[in-house]
Amino acid sequence: MEKFLTEIPEATTLRGLQALLPALREHWGDAEGFRSAALPVFIGETGLDRSHAAEVAGFLDKANRQVARLRAAQFSALNDKGKLEFLYDRLVPTAADSPVRQGFLWLAFQAQKITIEFFDSEAGKKGLGEILAALEEQKELLEGLTAEDSKITFPVLEKILTTVARKVIGDSSGKLLPVAAAARLIEWTRVESRKPPQEDLLATNLTSQAEQTLKLGLLVDPVRVADLNDAHQRFLRLSAQERTQRFNLLRRHLAKNIQAVARYSPLGFEKFCQAVEAHLFPYPTQLEWLRSYLKPIYTNAAQSAVFDNCMTEAAIKQRYEKLLEEKTANPVMLEMARAMAMATITRSEGAADRKFLDDLELEKEFGWPTSFAQVLASDGR
């Protein structure tokens, strides 16, 4: 605890911190603005001598940083007041030995509570819808963020969305709400980006308007890339032993769940990875980087010749069951190779069907009209 705080009762310190909530809401993300607004409030509330002003200013900078980190780490993913209050009650005992920690935790809790209450209101829902509509103007920028080798991060995305949010809902209610709007949209999009590839994009926490669902779709790829970049950076910091543990985790998961994810193999490496990540790290689990391990597995399955002589689905099934019975094939490779072989057969049959329909002379075979003019003529018009 800062030395100057020992001159006042702990309850006074806590009360002084709690009095900073209006300044925090008004100047969220603006360290200088918060310091200027909070300094006279804290000194006045605690009765500290103004000779401590420089020390108090440094303490307020620390408070600003810690509260933002606490909210981001503990509360920002919560959009339900009941769950927020439950978690806060669970965390309170961990800060019981320090009025400063209690105050920081309370401020982070209150900041998130303010955002939940606003975005649960009709004005908040309308504001989010308008922000999503305004994202259309940023479509080119957002699409550029997903280019190959993109280094997009969540802070960069948050900055872009916060700028849009400020233009739409303004700062009249403080700088907290535009920042919170950006964070909320990112979290909702992370939910969608973690779903297996075939699932439809459903923005269930927004309104039911179809255009808002489509607008949220503009964020899915940038958010997925930012999530992957964050996971990759953490992976690079792992020790050799930790990387081995990560590989063993993947092996166990694939051995147990390969039938659930193998069907995504024909969609390509990217979709297959998304499916594995969705099953192994469903939101809000932290995404981990596995693609360095998945690439050779996928490549080997794609190059497998185990079903090369199977020209029909029945032949693939017969070959598959024989290999299962003999237990001579790697089960992961076998499931993926079978899925790819079945998809190849399906595509071939579809192409044959299309060719048949293209070559079919409807008028000659069935007496059907082949143009609108013939329809009108047959109707006597």
Final residue of a domain: which of 174, 202, 237? 237
Q: Do 44 and 130 share a domain, yes or no?
A: no
Q: Give a yes or no: residue 168 inside a domain.
A: yes
- pLDDT (tens, 9 = 90+) of the chain, 381 residues, equals 678 888 899 999 999 999 999 999 999 988 999 999 999 999 999 999 888 899 999 999 999 999 999 998 899 888 899 999 999 999 999 999 999 999 999 999 999 999 999 989 998 888 888 888 888 888 888 888 777 567 889 988 999 999 999 999 887 777 899 988 998 889 888 888 888 886 443 344 444 444 444 567 788 889 999 999 999 999 999 999 999 999 999 999 998 999 899 999 999 999 999 999 999 998 888 999 999 999 999 999 999 999 988 889 999 999 999 999 998 889 999 999 999 999 888 765 545 445 545 555 555 655 566 565 665 666 555
Q: Give a yes or no: residue 21 inside a domain.
A: yes
Segments forming the whole domain that contains residue 149: 121-237
Q: Do 66 and 131 share a domain, yes or no?
A: no
Q: What is the largest CA-CA distance in the chain?
A: 101
Pairwise CA distance, residues 118 & 330, whole Å: 54
Q: Do 220 and 135 share a domain, yes or no?
A: yes
Pairwise CA distance, residues 134 & 128, whole Å: 10
Q: Give a yes or no: residue 49 inside a domain.
A: yes
- 164 CB-near residues (< 8 Å, 6+ apart): 131, 134, 135, 138, 182
Which backbone phi and psi does 363 adopt, to 5 degrees?
Answer: -65, -40
Q: Give a yes or no: residue 232 inside a domain.
A: yes
Q: Do 176 and 90 share a domain, yes or no?
A: no
Final residue of a domain: which of 74, 100, 120? 120
Please give the model's pTM, rounded to 2 decimal places.
Answer: 0.74
Q: Do 76 and 130 share a domain, yes or no?
A: no
Quote the number of domains for the chain: 2
Q: Do 155 and 108 share a domain, yes or no?
A: no
Q: Do 53 and 76 share a domain, yes or no?
A: yes
Q: Do 33 and 134 share a domain, yes or no?
A: no
Query: Angle between the 53-70 and 31-46 helix axes, to the nearest 10 degrees?
Result: 120
Q: Give a yes or no: residue 93 inside a domain.
A: yes
Residue 209: its pLDDT value, please? 40
Q: Do 30 and 129 share a domain, yes or no?
A: no
Q: Do 135 and 86 share a domain, yes or no?
A: no
Residue 106: its pLDDT value, please? 97
Q: Give a yes or no: residue 358 inside a domain.
A: no
Residue 245: its pLDDT value, please? 93
Q: Give a yes or no: residue 145 inside a domain.
A: yes
Residue 184: its pLDDT value, please? 87
Final residue of a domain: which of 203, 237, 271? 237
Q: Do 112 and 135 share a domain, yes or no?
A: no
Q: Give a yes or no: residue 78 inside a domain.
A: yes
Q: Do 59 and 145 share a domain, yes or no?
A: no
